[in-house]
Structure 1
Amino acid sequence: MRVEFIIIGVQKGGTTALFDYLSDEPGVALSRTKEVHFFDDESVDWAEPDYARYHARFDPEASGLRGEATPIYVYWPNSLERIAAYNPKARLILMLRDPVERAWSHWRMEFARGAETKPFSWCIRQGRARLLEAEPWGHHREFSYVERGFYGEQVERLFRLFPPEQVLILKSDDLRADPAVALGRVNRFLDLPAPGEVAPREVHVGAEMGGLGAEDAAYLRRLYARDMARLKDLTGISFG
């Protein structure tokens, strides 16, 4: 049986919390680990992909809808196209977070673990040039603080590959504020019974590192303005 639903993004957008909530659902058979990283794996022969490698990440004895969560998929080039080739009927869940807050949280994570050494202000300005030296060109797993926040562009590509009725878009703030309502939407989308009592939970909360500067926030708001208008036209969702 093929994987039937995938949480495709975004990084630092509440996907770990959603995966954790869904792990309690009896009608769901999740991957053994949260981030499978199959469709963004450039070592796979995508002319003849070995899907057995993918399916090995799931318990073959588990019953229920097979699903996983790898939040880089919506951003990484060709990942969505590979998912469409694998299962054109897959249902996709996209968790979105205010892109300015997402960029800040992403930088905090990379800085805390030592992958990043430069200050946030530099990273979102001059530091974007690092992606021009990356492979694939223009994409980077760690330093893509700004680029991962262009949601309108990503959703437009998503809707070219999958009909909107196969896509559920949620705001991470909604999952945090009222998980019962948000999970009710997820279960309806996956044709599952309504969830039972839901206790709010926080997963992967980052360490405090000071606040986001007003000047940096305003700079990113201007940078994202046109793309945010595109996202609103496509989905009705807006931030900021």
Structure 2
Amino acid sequence: MPRRRKEINFFTKHYEKGVDWYERFFPDSAEASCYQAIGEYTPAYLYDDRCPARIAKIPTIQQFLLCLRNPVERAYSAYGHSVRNYNYRDSFEAFLEEHPHQIDRGCYATHLKPYLRQFDREQFLILRFETLFSDEAATQRTIAAFLDVAPEQFPDDIGAKGRNVTFVPRFQRAFAAAQSVIRTMKKWEMGRILDLLQRSGLGPFLKRLFGRRTKEEALPDISPETRKRLARHYAPEIEELEALTGVDFSIWKRDLPL
């Protein structure tokens, strides 16, 4: 996985820069032999209809690992992201009204179909976010088998940082300003500087500097009415997703009214 940038966004935001720009995030041909598998992580690729055809033009990309979260919780997580990184102050309901694409992003079946027209189903490993960490050893074996790599070569702490715990800064405006600076640095190709700062302990320092509140302190729970409304909206998509993938997503249906 690229170290200098978590989400490259090549096929969405930087495609015009060309494949040479993309390849510079990965080991060169000499160094690549040291790795059993090479890939990247950009969730936005799922939501852009241009991506399947663009990805298909690079023949070395043959496998896709897709981790899907309950769409209601995914929308709420996006709200928390805006509260944390953009100093958003309004309610979850107002957030959805202002950003309807965040509801659309939970329509996984709709977004997956263009990929399944371009690639074979066997090229996808689809995991449920909710069960990802319930048995980490089994999850690692599943991923290793899909990628044809040795499971014992996964780092011992591979699951330690991946639980997507909501962090909300105590001083939201200042933290949002710091995040804006980081986004600008990424835009202007200053990833090496960011990497150096990150290695120096910038992330933990910022969290200590701005303080933190738990999700319960900073974000209201989803109201039962909103949860049920979203669950009804997503119900047909979940049914179609199960038919498309053969994966059981019944855990997501618990929010549906009886």
TM-score for the superposition, normalised by structure 2: 0.68
**TM superposition shift of 1:152:** 1.1
Q: How much does 1:149 deviate?
A: 0.4
How far has the Cα of 1:128 moved from its partner? 4.4
Count of residues paired in the alignment: 192
Q: 1:201 aligns with which of 151, 160, 166?
A: 160
Q: Distance in 1 between matches of 2:121 and 2:60?
A: 13
Q: Match of 1:127?
A: 98
User: 2:244 is paired with a residue of what secondary structure?
Assistant: helix
CA contact (8 A) 2:109 2:238 kept: yes
Specify the alignment match of 2:193 in structure 1: none
8 A contact 1:92–1:167 mirrored in 2: yes
Q: Which has the higher strand share?
A: 1
Pair 1:71 & 2:28 matched: no
Please tell me whether residue 37 in structure 1 is matched to residue 9 in structure 2.
yes
For the residues of structure 1 that align with 2:47 and 2:134, how far apart are their CA atoms? 26
| Structure 2 segments unaligned to the other structure (5+ residues) | 168-214, 254-258
1:221 matched to 2:193: no
Deviations along 1:166-223, one digit per CA (max 9) or x if unpaired, are: 1110111221211111111111011112336855424341130232211111110011
Whole-angstrom CA distance in 1 between matches of 2:60 and 2:110: 20
CA displacement 1:100-157 (0-9 Å, x = unmatched): 0111011111122126443211232x3246xxxxxxxxxxxxxx32111001111222
Q: In terms of mean alpha carbon deviation, does 85-94 or 181-190 score higher?
A: 85-94
Q: Distance in 1 between matches of 2:91 and 2:48?
A: 24
Aligned match of 1:59: 27
Deviations, residues 51-97 of structure 1 (Å, cap 9, x unaligned): 11001112323421221111111112312221112237510010001
Distance 1:37 1:182 in 2: 26
SS in structure 2 opposite 1:86?
coil
User: Does 2:220 match 1:210?
Assistant: yes
Structure 2: how far apart are the matches of 1:218 and 1:34? 34
Q: Larger Cα Rg: Structure 1 or Structure 2?
A: 2
Instruction: Report the AA paired with residue 99 of structure 1.
Output: P
Please name the residue that 1:163 is paired with.
120
The amino acid across from 2:239 in the alignment is A
Counterpart-to-counterpart distance in 2, 1:54 and 1:225: 37
- Residues 57 and 88 of structure 1: CA distance in aligned 2, closer, same or farther (over 3 Å): closer
Kindly provide the amino acid, as one letter, of the partner of residue 169 in structure 1.
Answer: I
AA matched with 1:173: E
How many angstroms apart in 1 are the aligned matches of 2:115 and 2:87?
A: 29
2:240 to 226, 230, 233: 230
What letter corresponds to residue 125 of structure 2 in structure 1? L
CA distance in 2, matches of 1:85, 1:210: 44
Identical columns (%): 28
The reply on whether 1:105 has 2:77 as its aligned counterpart is yes
Q: Is 1:174 equivalent to 2:185 in the alignment?
A: no
1:80 equivalent to 2:52? Answer yes
1:69 aligned counterpart, secondary structure:
coil
Normalising by structure 1, report the TM-score. Answer: 0.73
Bigger fraction of residues in helix: 2
Unaligned 5+ segments in structure 1 are 1-29, 130-143
